[in-house]
Amino acid sequence: MYMYVSLCVCVYVYIYIYIYIYIYIYIYTYIYTYTYIGTGDSICVLGTASGRGLKAVEVTRRHLPSDFEERNRILQSGGEIRRQDSEGGSEGEGGGGRGGVQGVRVYARGSDLPALHVTRSLGHSRGKRIGVQATPDVCVRKLVQEDRFVIIASQGVWRFLTKQEAVELVGQHQWADDASWELVSEARRRAQVCE
C-alpha cells in the first residue's frame, strides 16, 4: 500500500511539474514574443531601454529597389530600376523625384510604368510581372525586459524622422494614442517645412 501511494504521489508530482513547465514555455513563447509581417516601405522599430535612455533597434527592413537582394530579383525578372526626374518621367540613374520624393523606382523594361518605389507590394498585377512580389518578411522576436514599445510606420514617418528621434518622441508618452498622434504630427510638421 505504501509503495502504491508513493508511486501515485510521484506520478502526480511528475504530471504537475510537466504541466507547469509546459504552461511556462507556452506563456514565454507566445506572450513574450511578437511577430511582425511586413512588405513595402513599412518597418518595425523597437524602443529598448539602455543605460542612457532609449535606443532604437530596427527589427525589419524596407523592401526598396536600393536593397541589393531586392534589386537583383527585379533585374532578373525583366524589370528596370531607374531614378525619376522632376517631371515624373525617368532618367537612368540620375535626376530628382516626383512631387519632391527622390529615389529609385521599379519599371517594366522600356516603359515608364509601374514606377513603384517598393519591390514588394500586395496585389500589384503589373509589378508582379517584373518581380515585385507580395511575399512578406516575417520577424519573430522574443521580448526582453529592456523592450519598451514597438513603432510600426511607413515612409511618411521615416522620411522625416530618424528611428532614434521617433523612439525618443514616443518614449515621452505614457499612452499609445498620444504617442502616435505626436509622431504623425511631428512628421507632418517637418514635411511642411520641406515644401
Pairing mode, strands 33-38 and 43-50? unpaired
Query: Over the stretch 129-139, which tens digit does the pLDDT of each residue have?
Result: 899 998 888 88
Q: What local confidence, expressed as pLDDT, does residue 39 receive?
A: 79
> Residue 102's pLDDT band (boundaries 50, 70, 90)?
low
Query: Over the stretch 135-161, which tens digit does the pLDDT of each residue have?
Result: 888 888 888 888 888 888 888 888 899
Q: Is 189 helix (H, G, I), strand (E, B) or coil?
A: helix
List 114's β-bridge partners, or say none: 107
Q: Which amino acid is at 50?
A: S
Q: What local confidence, expressed as pLDDT, does residue 43 receive?
A: 85
Instruction: State the chain's mean pLDDT as an integer.
Output: 76
pTM (two decimals)? 0.69
Higher pLDDT, 66 or 4: 66
In 10 A of CB 119, how many CB atoms? 28
Percent of the chain with pLDDT over 70: 74
Q: What local confidence, expressed as pLDDT, does residue 86 receive?
A: 52
Higher pLDDT, 35 or 3: 35
Q: What local confidence, expressed as pLDDT, does residue 121 receive?
A: 84
